[in-house]
Structures are given as structure tokens and as C-alpha cells.
Amino acid sequence: MTDFKLISDTEWRQRLTPEEFHVLRQAGTEPPHVGEYTDTTTEGVYSCRACGAELFRSDEKFDARCGWPSFFSPLAGDRIIERRDISHGMVRVEVLCANCESHLGHVFEGEGYDTPTDLRYCINSISLTLEPQEK
């Protein structure tokens, strides 16, 4: 089994496209409203594009109208890492894949969405792959 935390930047560059590398490994952000999963309503499981770890389910996805896929909860708390982010003159909470430590997006609290939690996991589409649920 691969220990994704030991993979070098050189190997990540070989595994990922330049755009994926920028977001997943350099904590970049894709432009709003362009990601393939922003408006997707397909049922299934969203996994980390870098390592394949399952992260979110479509039942936790909601339309936040923010330009990126939004979820009110991860699949399980141990699937992600939440880390304080003080970049760009803001204080935010960065969300990373716990399996490979790739950047996924940020989580915000207290925005007033009608969801079971008071959280919005704002995740870059390019950080995810969707495995549709079989019907």
C-alpha cells in the first residue's frame, strides 16, 4: 500500500495535471463556477483525486451558490484534517485529505444555511472524483 505522505513533489507532478498539482499540492483554488462538480446532483461518493480516499457523499452536498461544491459534513471526521489558515489576510480553516494531505478547500461555520450542521465544506471540484452510485 502506498504511503501517500512520503511521495515527493516530483512524483506528484507526474501523477497530477498542472492544474490538479496547483490546487491539491500547492493549496491553490480553482475559479468559481467552472468545476465539474459545482452543480452536479449525481448520487455517489466523492473521493480525493490525488489518492482515492473516500471523503464526502452526495447526500451531504448542498447548493450554497458559492461557485464550488459544498458539503455540510465529511464522510467521517478521520477522513479529513482541518488546519488554521491565515493566508491572504484572512483567518480560515483549510481542509486536507487525511490520507495524502492534499488541499481540498476550506470549511466555514455560521453562515446560516438550512443544513443539519452549521458548516459548509467548500471544496474544489478539481480535488475530487465522483463515483456514481449504482442503481
Active centre residues (catalytic)? 122
What 8-state DSSP symbol labels residue 6?
A: G
**Could you give the angle at the alpha carbon of 14 between the alpha carbons of 25 and 17, nearest 5°?**
65
> Contact at 8 Å (CB) between 128 and 48?
yes
